[in-house]
């Protein structure tokens, strides 16, 4: 092996494993959001929910030192927060976009204030228990494959959830009822499906996904809490849902594309190329915009009743 | 069986009912924030006093409140133009950034020895307004075009476009426009291109005047001109508008162009009036907060400047509180956002009526059971 190919293979290993690492949290959030959007709710509040989940998991891990418990706490906090959002979206029938956007500000305020109250004036960042990459005994030693698949446990949980989501959405009665609600709530209603219940469930599932994404972010990637930790990942999850055409498996691919662009820009900066990293970062957004714009004929069509509150006649 | 809360068939829509539920919601939000103030050992009354004292009782603080208010009001006006025309644009973060970039670039090219060379301010300002308006207007107008001609969803597209704009500015300040130094930002803009300060010794700049003029302009257009009427009808009922011979698509694209232009002026005001340079994150979420200001103004253009002033003032008061009493300014985020959410939620109260007769019967039963005879 000459020097050049060593550099190339090192680059590839670094790139692919970073892509998988970065794709994880946004994918969990996107999977949850898929359920909300399939039920007709555009839940923009997942950005704030991720932040609340991140804070909850940080505090839980700080207090208990148990990573799985902390991930569960983050998920539950996400569900609890989205109970309020679901009430606003479904029962109050407030504008989904406005509610979601304002909720994100509320979550930022709450997370910042509670973090300060909980940790007082300790200046140094607190260290917490985090997930370590899984090292499968034999496979971990295989060149290329080993380092790439040595991801922390939540990554594999996320992949499992993607498959489960796909089955639930497209192979169960519940999934059919949920999609019917998002496509034509009046028809679903007359078929005996409770539109309210489906939309509550959709929103709560997106809360669970977003809360878990926050936990994933803190417990498997960053290892600390800052109020800037989420930095638009909730909106990226929204983009992934669209890019993946409201389908969990396609969303998984979409998340990998986003992760790959993000990781490539990191690697290229290290290697010092002339390509502006921002161009690579903007690429997934541009592709998403093109996908929903209808510029290329076959437009990504959202569920027909997305963002429309349902009033029973 | 009469219940204490009885469901109405239609919401109560008397002014008293609306005012009552809104007031209740605001008090509820203030009560929740008061809990947090107590945690920091401050009496809530003192805290609320402090929140408004700095921005509205000191000249220095008032100047800062004006600085915060100008871009918020401009974004709010953009929101009003687009939303009332039925174009639910959420890309003001992007317009803000594009407008700031356009104004900043123009300003940098008037530095001595640069592309244009020094210009008199009276010539520079109209040029800057025109240039950032056009850039922001096209930025939002493109989304309107996609919505009208191709049927794309403007909410999702505009949310995504914010990131593209932000990354574009990030590229500018870390690449072509980067000043030598460690920070990815431009050099200080030439002093001759700064918006003039209004009162000596404060930071309040002429951006607020731009906002006032824009508010009057938007109000006059929407309320007094046939064009505004057509825009509002387009937003209200596109099918009826089309039937009445209004070119709905063109009107919506025009609304997008206006909205984007106003959002870009907000960025221009921030760049030329307050920051005096370009850097990543210059919008500081104002593209979203401005939408909230528009909602609090109930999409009334004349209300935007006062509401933005209260909103901006509270931010200044919160910063002052954080400096003096080390109460995190994030509590005001809770207060402000909760106030909006609860005002939205309070609408549901108007679907209920209170039956005080239930209370009366309850008392009567209690008194009788106490009576031994």
Structure tokens at A299: 């437009």
- Examine the pLDDT at A125 and tell me if it is beyond 70: no
Residue B266: inside a domain, yes or no? yes
Point out the least confidently predicted range of A185-194, A213-222, B4-13, B20-29: B4-13
Share of chain B above pLDDT 70, in %: 95
Closest Cβ opposite residue B334 in set A106, A238, A278: A106
Residue B340: inside a domain, yes or no? no
Check CB contact of A307 with chain B, cutoff 8 Å. Answer: yes
Q: Which residue has the higher pLDDT, A62 or B355?
A: A62
pTM of the model: 0.86
CATH number of the domain at B130, please: 1.10.3470
Residue B155: inside a domain, yes or no? yes
Residue B122: inside a domain, yes or no? yes
Check CB contact of A110 with chain B, cutoff 8 Å. Answer: yes
Residue B230's domain spans which residues? 60-313
According to DSSP, residue B184 is labeled S
Which class in CATH covers the domain with range A15-132+154-293?
mainly alpha
- How much is the pLDDT for A297? 59
Q: What is the pLDDT of residues B139-161, one digit of tens each?
A: 999 999 998 888 777 888 898 89
Residue of A nearest to B159 (CA): A235
- How much is the pLDDT for B372? 47
Q: Which residue has the higher pLDDT, B209 or B322?
A: B209
Residue B191: inside a domain, yes or no? yes
Average pLDDT over residues A53-63: 94
Cα separation, B303 vs A259, whole angstroms: 44
Check CB contact of A239 with chain B, cutoff 8 Å. Answer: yes
Instruction: With CB atoms and an 8 Å threshold, state whether B331 touches A227.
Output: no
Cα separation, B95 vs B159, whole angstroms: 11
Cα separation, B108 vs B96, whole angstroms: 18
Closest Cβ opposite residue B333 in set A95, A108, A239: A108
Residue of A nearest to B331 (CA): A109
String of DSSP letters for B159-197: HHHHHHHHHHHHHHHHTTTPPSSSSSBPPPPPGGGSPPB
B359 pLDDT band, cuts 50/70/90, is low
- How much is the pLDDT for B373? 42
Residue B366: inside a domain, yes or no? no
**Cα A12 to the center of its chain, rounded Å:** 25
**Cα B63 to the center of its chain, rounded Å:** 18
- How much is the pLDDT for B59? 86
- How much is the pLDDT for B82? 94
How many domains would you assign to chain B?
1
ipTM of the complex: 0.86
Enumerate the residues of chain B whose CB falls inside 8 A of the CB of residue A313.
none
- How much is the pLDDT for B362? 56
Q: Which residue has the higher pLDDT, B95 or A261?
A: B95
Enumerate the residues of chain B whose CB falls inside 8 A of the CB of residue A242.
156
Q: What is the pLDDT of residues B222-253, one digit of tens each?
A: 989 988 888 888 888 888 888 888 888 899 99
Instruction: With CB atoms and an 8 Å threshold, state whether A293 touches B332.
Output: no
Distance between B368 CA and the closest CA of chain A, angstroms = 40
**Which secondary-structure segment (H or E) carries B7?**
strand B5-7
**Portion 200-259 of B in contact with A at CB < 8 A:** none
Indicate the SS3 state at residue A191: coil
* Arithmetic mean of pLDDT over chain B: 86
Point out the least confidently predicted range of A123-132, B62-71, B246-255, B306-315: A123-132
């Amino acid at each position: 092996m000459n020097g050049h190919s060593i550099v190339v293979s090192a680059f590839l290993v670094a790139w692919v494993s970073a892509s998988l690492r970065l794709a994880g949290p946004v994918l969990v959030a996107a999977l949850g959001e898929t359920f909300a959007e399939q039920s007709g709710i555009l839940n923009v509040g997942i950005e704030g929910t991720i932040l609340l989940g991140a804070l909850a998991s940080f505090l839980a891990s700080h207090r208990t030192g148990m990573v799985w418990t902390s991930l569960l706490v983050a998920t539950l906090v996400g569900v609890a927060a989205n109970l309020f959002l679901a009430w606003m979206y479904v029962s109050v029938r407030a504008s989904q976009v406005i509610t979601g956007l304002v909720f994100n500000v509320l979550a930022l305020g709450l997370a910042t204030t509670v973090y300060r109250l909980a940790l007082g004036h300790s200046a140094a960042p607190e260290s917490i228990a985090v997930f370590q990459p899984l090292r499968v005994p034999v496979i971990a030693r295989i060149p290329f494959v080993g380092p790439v698949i040595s991801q922390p446990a939540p990554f594999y949980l996320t992949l499992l959830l993607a498959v489960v989501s796909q089955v639930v959405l497209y192979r169960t009665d519940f999934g059919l009822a949920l999609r019917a609600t998002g496509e034509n709530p009046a028809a679903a209603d007359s078929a005996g499906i409770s539109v309210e219940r489906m939309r509550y469930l959709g929103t709560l599932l997106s809360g669970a996904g977003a809360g878990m994404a926050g936990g994933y972010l803190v417990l498997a990637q960053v290892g600390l809490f800052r109020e800037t930790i989420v930095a638009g990942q909730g909106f990226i999850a929204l983009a992934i849902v669209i890019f993946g055409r409201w389908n969990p498996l396609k969303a998984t691919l979409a998340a990998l594309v986003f992760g790959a662009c993000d990781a490539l820009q990191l690697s290229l900066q290290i290697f010092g190329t002339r390509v502006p990293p921002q161009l690579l970062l903007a690429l997934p957004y541009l592709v998403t915009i093109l996908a929903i714009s209808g510029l290329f004929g076959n437009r990504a069509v959202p569920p027909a009743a997305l963002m429309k509150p349902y009033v029973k006649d | 069986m009469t219940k204490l809360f009885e469901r109405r068939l239609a919401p109560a829509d008397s002014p008293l009912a609306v005012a009552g539920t809104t007031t209740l919601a605001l008090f509820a939000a203030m009560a929740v924030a008061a809990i947090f103030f107590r945690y920091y050992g401050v009496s809530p009354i003192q805290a609320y006093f402090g929140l408004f004292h700095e921005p509205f009782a000191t000249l220095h603080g008032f100047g800062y409140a004006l600085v915060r208010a100008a871009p918020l009001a401009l974004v709010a006006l953009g929101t009003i133009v687009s939303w009332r025309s039925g174009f639910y644009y959420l890309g003001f973060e992007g317009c803000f950034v594009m407008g700031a970039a356009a104004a900043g670039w123009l300003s940098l090219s008037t530095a001595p020895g640069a592309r244009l060379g020094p210009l008199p301010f009276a010539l520079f300002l109209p040029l800057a307004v025109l240039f950032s308006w056009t850039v922001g207007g096209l930025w939002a107008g493109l989304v309107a075009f996609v919505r009208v001609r191709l049927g794309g969803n403007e909410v999702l597209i505009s949310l995504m476009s914010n990131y593209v704009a932000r990354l574009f500015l990030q590229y500018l300040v870390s690449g072509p426009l980067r000043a030598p130094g460690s920070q990815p930002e431009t050099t200080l803009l030439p002093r001759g291109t700064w918006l003039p300060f209004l009162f000596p010794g404060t930071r309040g700049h002429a951006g607020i005047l731009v906002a006032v003029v824009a508010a009057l302009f938007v109000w006059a257009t929407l309320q007094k001109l046939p064009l505004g009427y057509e825009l509002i009808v387009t937003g209200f009922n596109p099918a009826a508008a089309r039937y009445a011979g209004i070119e709905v698509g063109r009107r919506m694209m025009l609304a997008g162009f206006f909205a984007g232009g106003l959002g870009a002026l907000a960025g221009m005001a921030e760049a030329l009036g307050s920051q005096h340079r370009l850097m990543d994150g210059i919008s500081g979420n104002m593209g979203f907060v401005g939408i909230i200001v528009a909602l609090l103004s109930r999409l009334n253009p004349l209300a935007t400047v006062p509401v933005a002033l209260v909103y901006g003032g509270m931010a200044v008061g919160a910063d002052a509180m954080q400096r003096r009493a080390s109460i995190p300014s994030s509590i005001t985020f809770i207060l402000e956002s909760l106030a909006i959410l609860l005002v939205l939620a309070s609408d549901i109260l108007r679907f209920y009526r209170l039956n005080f007769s239930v209370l009366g019967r309850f008392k009567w039963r209690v008194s009788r059971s106490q009576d031994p005879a």
